[in-house]
């Protein structure tokens, strides 16, 4: 029997949305991006008010980032006026995101002007707008109860991509120069969840036309040729829409827009929203099938969040006011299950091959399995600590652990999926769980329904009776010195190390995000770039025993000047011998020698098929939808 908490939340949230919008005049906000190439956004905001003290606020905790917004210091040029007269304001002494003003008698509309200095996701040819940069609304009110109508000004000739509903179709998405594009009234919660991309080199592509509701890929780029995406890539993204339709058997949006920026300047990003996702990759990262492998799961990951994270949200990660701190517990569901499903969907859609899926899974499994920080820190602690773990210095990060709930979650949900398949003789799978957990309430518009650990366990039990609470607690809350490799093994494979990298690892190394790094982590225990600079040293590994520290620079290998190839050759030559590898190392301004006593040769992770066992991993990555063939290209996979 399932607790009916979800149905209750569903009713309350819907009611709140309707009554608020019906009763109050909306805030009017016009975002002006015409100075975006000069790193400035402007906003003009009209707020319905009554006389007396008023506290306005900007969003503090941003959904999806799971942390406090650091960019509030970039909000500048703040001026409040009433009937054209400026009003004095004072920032709250404690809550620094808040502004206090006193509205004079007889005033019903308060005008606010503000600017935001924008240094990321903006170039000479494109801009991305996340609304926290410009938003201002009454504090201490649930954000879904504050109606707001957004409008937008963009540089002449720029196209607009967003899930916001334009008011009056007009010449959209490329408005005539000098015009303001108006959007339908929404609420502050939804507006914050509806970013905009705009750019000179803009394309909007309709995806999987037979699927309803409609899906679009909106893309802007710094170079004109890049936004003209390849037919094969577009066909794969259409397949992604079809595969998600099969996997989730529901939708929680009225329309979905994949927003994509292609730029080497704007910076990378993947941020989920209910009706869209904000995706940023390098200028050429989707320009051929090899280059796309490293980011093959970006769109499928962020798309999955529309169901897992946006519609279904751990109770501690939902804040009705953007001011309450987000709590990271259960992020191994929100992010970890999304990591698993996003990679599976990428393989089912053809964004990467089944072999590439396995090669990349081997890489993340090996990384977790050789991470010494798991001796002191549980996966749940990486989730609870999420807001302080993103980014940071790589030094000793293998001892600290990072946001491991992503990849730990991927292994955990693969374990659950293959356990269900094994126990039910492949009659049931995690797909059945998604049909319950993510489709509860049927098809809806954008909606947030929170859940607890108990509901997760109850829904898993509805698929297959099992002690799921213990299954999850053991993998998530306990200290586990080894990674959860059971899913790979139940899937018919095992993690092994070979003396040559897999084809997938070679593709990612040559074309993907780790270009220039030398993979000697599983041999001597170093993350080192092409110039010899050491990013991290594996705790208790051979290089650690040789006293090499993060930040050092290797300048000599066995008497010759450093190169990545030379270091790998030295590792190969030392195999089975007793002579150590001799390094000359620069630490700060000092030179020293280091001797790495390592003799097992090169080691690279790969999944090896265990013959005679069911290959559930191959079943999992097979398409479920009847996808049309992908247009052929001349640059096949490695």
Least distance to Zn ion, CB of residue 25, Å:
36
Q: How far is the CB of 339 from Zn ion (least distance, A)?
A: 7
Closer Cβ to Zn ion, 193 or 222, answer by number: 193
Helix (H, G, I), strand (E, B) or coil at 570: helix
Distance of alpha carbon 198 from alpha carbon 266, whole angstroms: 13
Cis status of the peptide bond prior to 173, with omega within 30 of 0: yes
Q: Smallest distance from the beta carbon of 140 to Zn ion, in angstroms?
A: 30
Closest distance between Zn ion and the C-beta of residue 301, in Å?
6
C-alpha distance from residue 481 to each of 371, 386, 564 (Å): 8, 20, 31
Q: Which is nearer to Zn ion, 222 or 335 (CB)?
A: 335
Q: State the alpha helices, DSSP H only, in 231-353.
A: 231-248, 298-304, 331-334, 336-349
Which C-beta is closer to Zn ion: that of 43 or that of 412? 412
- Give the residue closest to Zn ion by C-beta: 335
Identity of the residue, 245 or 335, whose beta carbon is nearer to Zn ion in the bound complex? 335
Peptide bond between residue 44 and the one before it cis (omega within 30 degrees of 0) = no
Q: How far is the CB of 305 from Zn ion (least distance, A)?
A: 6
Q: In the complex, what is the shortest distance from the CB of residue 357 to Zn ion, in angstroms, rounded to a whole number?
A: 18
Ramachandran sector of residue 136 (left: φ over 0; alpha: ψ -120 to 50; beta: rest): beta
Which lies closer to Zn ion via its Cβ, residue 272 or residue 455? Answer: 272
Beta carbon nearer to Zn ion, 155 or 409: 409
In the complex, what is the shortest distance from the CB of residue 270 to Zn ion, in angstroms, rounded to a whole number?
Answer: 7
Task: Please give the Cα distance from 221 to 200 (Å, whole number).
Answer: 8
Show the binding pattern over residues 547-566: x = contacts Zn ion (CB under 5 A), - = does not: --------------------
Question: Residue 542: helix, strand or coil by DSSP?
Answer: helix
Q: Which C-beta is closer to Zn ion: that of 226 or that of 335? A: 335
Number of residues that bind Zn ion (CB under 5 A): 1
DSSP, collapsed to helix, strand or coil, labels residue 634 as coil
Q: How far is the CB of 340 from Zn ion (least distance, A)?
A: 11
CB of 300 vs Zn ion, minimal distance in Å: 11
As to burial, measured by CB atoms within 10 angstroms (0-12 exposed, 13-18 middle, 19+ buried), residue 553 is middle
Site string for Zn ion, 319-348 (x = CB under 5 A): ----------------x-------------
Tokens 């992020």 sit at which residue?
331
Per-residue DSSP letters for 88-119? --EE-SS-TTEEEEEEPTT--EEEEEEEEE--
Of 471-530, binders to Zn ion (CB under 5 A) are: none
For 260-271, give the DSSP string: EEE-SSS--EEE
274 contacts: CB under 8 Å, gap ≥ 6:
163, 190, 193, 252, 253, 306, 310, 311, 446, 447
Question: Judged by CB, which is closer to Zn ion: 69, or 406?
Answer: 406
Identity of the residue, 332 or 468, whose beta carbon is nearer to Zn ion in the bound complex = 332
Adjacent-strand bridge partners of 99? 56, 91
Residues in contact with Zn ion by the rule CB under 5 A = 335
């Amino acid at each position: 029997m399932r607790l009916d908490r979800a149905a209750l939340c569903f009713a309350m949230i819907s009611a709140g949305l309707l009554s608020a919008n019906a009763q109050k005049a909306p805030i009017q906000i016009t975002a002006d991006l015409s100075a975006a190439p000069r790193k400035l956004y402007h906003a003009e905001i009209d707020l319905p008010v009554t006389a007396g003290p008023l506290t306005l606020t900007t969003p503090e905790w941003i959904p999806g980032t799971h942390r406090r917004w650091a960019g509030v210091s970039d909000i500048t040029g703040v001026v409040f006026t009433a009937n054209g007269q400026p009003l004095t304001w004072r920032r709250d002494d404690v809550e620094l995101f808040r502004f206090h003003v006193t509205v004079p008698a007889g005033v019903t509309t308060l005008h606010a002007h503000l600017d935001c200095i924008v240094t990321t996701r903006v170039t000479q040819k494109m801009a991305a707008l996340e609304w926290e940069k410009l938003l201002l609304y009454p504090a201490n009110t649930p954000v879904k109860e504050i109606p707001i109508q957004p409008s937008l000004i963009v540089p002449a000739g720029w196209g607009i991509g967003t899930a916001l509903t334009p008011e009056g179709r007009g010449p959209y998405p490329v408005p005539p120069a000098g015009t303001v594009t108006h959007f339908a009234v929404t609420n502050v919660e939804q507006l914050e969840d509806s970013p905009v991309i705009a750019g000179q080199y803009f394309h909007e592509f309709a995806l999987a036309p037979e699927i309803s509701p409609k899906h679009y890929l909106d893309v802007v780029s710094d170079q004109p040729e890049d936004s003209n995406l390849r037919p094969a890539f577009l066909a794969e993204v259409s397949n992604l829409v079809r595969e998600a339709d099969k996997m989730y058997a529901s939708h929680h949006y009225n329309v979905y827009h994949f927003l994509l920026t292609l730029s080497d300047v704007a910076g990378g990003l993947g941020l989920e929203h209910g009706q869209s996702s904000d995706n940023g990759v390098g200028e050429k990262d989707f320009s051929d099938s090899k280059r796309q492998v490293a980011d093959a799961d970006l769109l499928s990951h962020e798309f999955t969040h529309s169901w897992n994270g946006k519609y279904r949200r751990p109770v501690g990660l939902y804040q009705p006011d953007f001011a309450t701190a987000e709590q990271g517990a259960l992020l191994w569901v929100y992010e970890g299950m999304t990591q698993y499903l996003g990679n599976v969907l990428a393989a089912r859609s053809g964004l990467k091959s089944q072999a590439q899926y396995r090669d990349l899974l081997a890489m993340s499994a090996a990384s977790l399995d050789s991470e010494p920080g798991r001796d002191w820190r549980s996966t749940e602690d990486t989730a609870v600590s999420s807001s302080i773990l993103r980014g940071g210095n790589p030094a000793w990060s293998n001892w600290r652990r990072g946001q491991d709930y992503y990849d730990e979650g991927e292994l955990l949900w693969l374990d659950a999926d293959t356990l269900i398949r094994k126990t039910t003789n492949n009659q049931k799978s995690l797909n059945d769980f998604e049909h319950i957990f993510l489709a509860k309430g049927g098809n809806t518009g954008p909606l947030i329904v929170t859940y607890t650990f108990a509901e997760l366990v109850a829904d898993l039990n509805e698929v297959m009776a099992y002690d799921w609470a213990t299954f999850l607690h053991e993998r998530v809350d306990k200290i586990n010195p080894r990674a959860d490799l059971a899913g790979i093994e139940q899937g018919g494979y095992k993690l092994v190390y070979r003396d040559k990298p897999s084809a997938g690892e070679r593709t990612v190394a040559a074309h993907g995000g780790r270009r220039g790094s030398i993979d000697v982590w599983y041999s001597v225990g170093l993350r080192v770039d092409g110039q010899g600079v050491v990013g991290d040293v594996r705790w208790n590994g051979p290089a650690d025993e040789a006293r090499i520290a993060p930040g050092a620079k290797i300048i000599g290998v066995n008497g010759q000047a450093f190169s990545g190839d030379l270091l790998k050759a030295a590792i190969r030559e030392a195999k089975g011998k007793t002579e150590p590898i001799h390094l000359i190392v620069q630490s700060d301004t000092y030179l020293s020698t280091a001797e790495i006593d390592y003799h097992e040769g090169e080691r690279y992770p790969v999944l090896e098929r265990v013959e005679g066992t069911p290959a559930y991993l191959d079943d999992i990555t097979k398409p479920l939808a009847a996808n049309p063939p992908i247009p052929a290209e001349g640059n096949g996979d490695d």
